[in-house]
Amino acid sequence: MKQIIKIGIIICDRYKACTGGKCFRAMKNKEGAFSIYKDINNLELVGYTTCGECPGGNIEYSPEEMIKNGAEVIHFATGFVVGYPPCPYIDHFKKFIEEKYKVKVVIGTHPIPQKYYITHKALGTWDSKEWKEFIEPTLVDEQIRSAYD
């Protein structure tokens, strides 16, 4: 069993003042998209930045710095999928980083808060096959979603 995974997190620039509390809690508890690491002893954050405003100015170069710090995986924060509107560039960003830097990109960090789930469900935001795949890592049960409201 691998002992440690080093992670970088990129957040949507709309939330640039975010302190990362929900992401860090989910990382510590291995909830939401971090549940994929349930068999890993430790997760270490080696980079945290914004996308750099639409259309993602930091996407081109910030992963390089994270990788220099040991990042093995880069997570796009859950804000990319729960903000309104959700990030229209998320698929492009993921493909670009994976191609250019040969590092895995995971969409999501903390579980989707229930209040956002209710709104987006009513709006049909995530009804497409593509969006269902994007939110799947952070779509946990209602009890856990409510704990992240």
Q: pLDDT digit of tens for each residue in the chain (149 aa)?
A: 679 999 999 999 999 999 999 999 999 999 999 999 999 999 999 999 999 999 999 999 999 999 999 999 999 999 999 999 999 999 999 999 999 999 999 999 999 999 999 999 999 999 999 999 999 999 999 999 999 99
pTM: 0.95
Q: How many helices (H) and strands (E) does the chain have?
A: 7, 4
Question: Residue 37 carries which DSSP code?
Answer: G
Distance between CA atoms of residues 19 and 11, nearest Å: 11
Tokens matching residue 65: 């710095």
**What is the third-level CATH fold of 4-147?**
Rossmann fold (3.40.50)
**Res 1: pLDDT:** 62
